[in-house]
Every structure is written in C-alpha cells, then in structure tokens.
Amino acid sequence: MKLIKILLLSIIGIMSANLSAHAVIEIDITRGNVQPLPIAIMNLAGSADEITSSGSVMDIGAQISRVITADLERSGLFSAIDPRAFINSANATAAPQFANWRAVGAQALVTGTAVLEEDGRVRVEFRLWDVLGTTQMTGLRYFTAPRNWRRIAHLISDAIYKRLTGEDGYFDTRIVYISESGPYLERIKRLAIMDQDGFNHKFLTDGSYMILNPRFSPTSQEITYLSFYNDTPRVYLFNIDTGKSEMLGEFDGMTFAPRFSPDGKKVIMSKAERGNSDIFVMELATRRIEQLTNHSAIDTSPSFSPFGRYVAFNSDRGGTQQLYVMDSNGENVNRISFGNGRYATPVWSPRGDLIAFTKQTGGKFYIGVMRPDGSGERILTESYFEEGPTWSPNGRVLMYYRKYPYDNRGGGGETQLWSIDLTGYNERQVITPLDGSDPAWSPLMD
C-alpha cells in the first residue's frame, strides 16, 4: 500500500510540475552592427618623482597608454574614447566606478600603474575590465628596463586584443622593408627595419648595392632577400641580431623571390636560367636543393601553406599569368585563379584560410584574397600600382606597397607602405622616413 502511495505521489508531482512550468520565449539574434568596440584607456598611474633614464615614471605610464591607444585604434576593431570625456580619473588601484564608465559609452576599460623598482627596472601592471559585466577580464604585470617601455605597450596591446577578439595580436612585431630614395634612374634601395607602428626605425644595409624581396623567417630573427651584391642577383640570408649575411648557394642562373617554409628550415625560391624560371626549395641545414617545377612556362613567387604541405605560386603555363597550388613535393598542380587579368605574388595566410594576391587588369593593380581552392575571391584595394602583400602574424591584416605615377614635371613616383584589414575598410598608410616598398611582416617577437 505504501508503494502505491509513493507511486501515485510521484506521478502527480511530475504532472503538476509539467503543467505549472512557465513557457519560455526563445529568440534568434542573427543581425548586429559590426562596430569598433568602445574602449577607455586610462593613463597608467605613475609618480612624477620617480625619475628614470627614459623620463619620469608618470611620463612612461602616459606614453604607454598612448601607444596602446594607437595600436588598438589602428586595428580598426576598437574605438578609444577621448580621455576628456572621462567622468573620473579612477584610482588605478581601486575597482572602477563602472556606472561612470558606462555613462561615457565605454564597454571595456584599461587601468594600470607604473612603478620604479629598487633595481632600476620599471614594474608595469594593467587590468582590462568588462564595464557592462563589471568584472576584470585580464590583468598582467611586466618588469623591464625603462627604455623598453614601448615594447611593453605593444605587449599590453596584444594581451588586450587577444582577450577581446579571441585572436593573437600583432603589435609586438617588426616590419622589414626596402627603403628607397633618389631619382628614378639612380634609386638607392636599402634594407630597413622598424616596429609595426613605424617607430625604432633602423637601416640594415648602406645602399651601395640593391636589395629586393626581403622576407622574415617565421621562427627566428633572420631575413632572406635578393641582393645585387657585385652585380650578381643572389638570395642571401641575414641575421638581424649579428648583422651577418650569407649567400644561399651558387647557381648558374639568377635566384629570386625567396620565402621561408613555416618551420624556418627551408627557403623556397625561383631560379631563372636561359629565359625559363622554375621553383626550387633549399634545406638550410644541409643546403640540399630540390626542384619542384620543371615547366617551359615561367613559374615564380612560391609561398608555403602554414603547415608546409602545399605551395602556391604563379605561372603563365595556362597562357596568362595565374595562381596555382601544388603539393610541397611539386606534384598535383592545380590552377586556382580564373578571373580576368593577371594574378601574381600569392601569399598564404598564417591562418591558412586565405591566399593574398596581386591582380593586374584594366590598367590598374589590385590586392585581394581568395580561399586556397580559388573560391571567394575578394578585392580589398586598388590603385595605379600596388604589389607585395605580406600578412600580419594573426592573418587579419595585409601590408603592401603602393607606387604613384610620375607626372610631366618629373615629380611623383613615390612609393609608400600601406596596410588594410580583411574587411577592406581599414586602410592606413604606414609612415616611413623615406619611400618604402616590399614590406615583410615578422612573427610575434619572443
């Protein structure tokens, strides 16, 4: 009898729960407004009385904040709120008054401090806050020599970017490029390096011989490039730390368009001989060379896929210059571009999802992207002449160079570095001391 009672009560309980459960509305949100995230970046608090070789700690804190602001704004994904709109200059060691930050439209907030340590280093701390969620999203602390404050700013920018976008940042990186100066017929081309925001600029060669096609190693502080040293075009390897360079092999013909493999252990390049050009790969440790293409057409501009399994290149074997993808051993060559015009310089994205390229049609040049199978071609930018796309290490931004036409009075002809993100809207000039061409983006620094 007891069993029956329990059974009955259980069934009635289940039924009544079922009947009384309230209905719930379920809504699909499928539209939104992709806009830069409003972020408030406070000056890192520091003492004006603590003086270092790079100025007072208060100045260092303010400068770090300015660099972070510039980094994030340049990405196009963030919109920094004007500090003049801040309601309160919060004490960096206390929890923010979130209502005040919400009132000025901030959805994220950066606060922090800079303090001079007894050993002469600077301790830099920052916190990233979710204003609407009233929580701390991340907080990190760095110790460094005061002169490295700019690098710390880039590291903080990367940490904020990663926490808010889910992708690695690209601010703690460098750009190597060809600095150009002088008249058209006597152009001086020097290898130069700078931070991705144009600061800490340095020339690596003196301009006594021409340099072209610099490419960063994805794993080390090494650059490969084409040099006309002794009027013989050859591919070289240059160590940034030591300043030493070495030639990569002796060939009968001319070698050009070098690029590292993703593991940094090989260099793939073109070799031209008797009017024909094919693709070769060299293992750096053994200097063993393997020929990947053997075709009467011109095959050039090879680029490895992120895991080194495929190689994209351009060739005129189909009658016009188009893009092709083959296995890294040279087999299974497939054409991937079929649009009008000529396609050149394919560069595989570090994320592997896209291949950037240069296209020439109708008297103009275009920089675009397509999927590795050739689908989804999208033009990002166009001009009189633009070439040499290079990817940021997170595969979200492209840098390239643009050349302006000469005018009748002998003016014009400038070359400039530009960057654009994958949306195609955030296009910005990268300021260089002289003209610039052929940029190559470094991986994130260690």
In the complex, minimum distance from the CB of residue 374 to another protein, in angstroms, rounded to a whole number:
16
Residue 445 lies near another protein (rule: CB under 8 A): no
List C-alpha distances in Å: 393 to 174, 175, 348. Answer: 10, 11, 11
State which of residues 18, 208, 296, 340 lies at the interface with another protein (CB under 8 A): 18
102 versus 335: smaller Cβ distance to another protein: 102
Of the candidates 155, 154, 94, 153, the one whose C-alpha atom is nearest the C-alpha of residue 129 is: 94
Q: How many whole angstroms separate alpha carbon 52 and alpha carbon 100?
A: 34
In the complex, minimum distance from the CB of residue 307 to another protein, in angstroms, rounded to a whole number:
15
Residue 17 lies near another protein (rule: CB under 8 A): no
In the complex, minimum distance from the CB of residue 208 to another protein, in angstroms, rounded to a whole number:
43
147, 122 contact by CB (below 8 A): no
# binding residues, another protein (CB under 8 A): 62
| Number of neighbouring beta carbons within 10 Å of residue 101 | 25
**Residue ranges with strand state E in 385-434:** 385-391, 397-403, 415-421, 427-430
State which of residues 2, 6, 32, 84 lies at the interface with another protein (CB under 8 A): 32
State which of residues 27, 332, 340, 407 lies at the interface with another protein (CB under 8 A): 27
Residue 9 lies near another protein (rule: CB under 8 A): no
Please state the separation of Cα 231 from the chain's center in Å.
Answer: 33
Residue 444 lies near another protein (rule: CB under 8 A): no
Residue 164 lies near another protein (rule: CB under 8 A): yes
State which of residues 9, 87, 120, 133 lies at the interface with another protein (CB under 8 A): 133
Residue 426 lies near another protein (rule: CB under 8 A): no
Q: How many whole angstroms separate alpha carbon 351 and alpha carbon 289?
A: 27
Write a three-state SS string for 233-272.
CEEEEEECCCCCEEECCCCCCEEEEEEECCCCCEEEEEEE
Q: How many whole angstroms separate alpha carbon 267 and alpha carbon 253?
A: 17
Residue 137 lies near another protein (rule: CB under 8 A): yes
Q: Which residues pair with 422 in a beta bridge?
A: none
123 versus 187: smaller Cβ distance to another protein: 123
Binding characters for another protein, 69-108, by CB under 8 A (x = yes):
--------x---------------xxxxxxx--xx---x-
In the complex, minimum distance from the CB of residue 157 to another protein, in angstroms, rounded to a whole number:
14
Q: Which residues pair with 240 in a beta bridge?
A: none
134 versus 294: smaller Cβ distance to another protein: 134
Which residues have CB under 8 Å from 225's CB, separation 6+? 191, 211, 212, 213, 214, 215, 235, 236, 238, 258
Residue 285 lies near another protein (rule: CB under 8 A): no
Strand order in the sheet with 415-421: 385-391, 397-403, 415-421, 427-430
In the complex, minimum distance from the CB of residue 148 to another protein, in angstroms, rounded to a whole number:
20
List C-alpha distances in Å: 74 to 35, 70, 174. Answer: 14, 6, 15
Give 412's DSSP letter: B
Residue 431 lies near another protein (rule: CB under 8 A): no
Residue 222 lies near another protein (rule: CB under 8 A): no
* Candidate ranges 126-134, 229-237, 286-294, 385-393; the one touching another protein (CB under 8 A): 126-134
State which of residues 6, 33, 184, 340 lies at the interface with another protein (CB under 8 A): 33
184 versus 425: smaller Cβ distance to another protein: 425
Residues that bind another protein (CB under 8 A): 1, 3-4, 7-8, 11-12, 14-15, 18-19, 22-35, 37, 77, 93-99, 102-103, 107, 125, 127, 129-130, 132-141, 163-167, 351, 353, 376, 395-396, 423
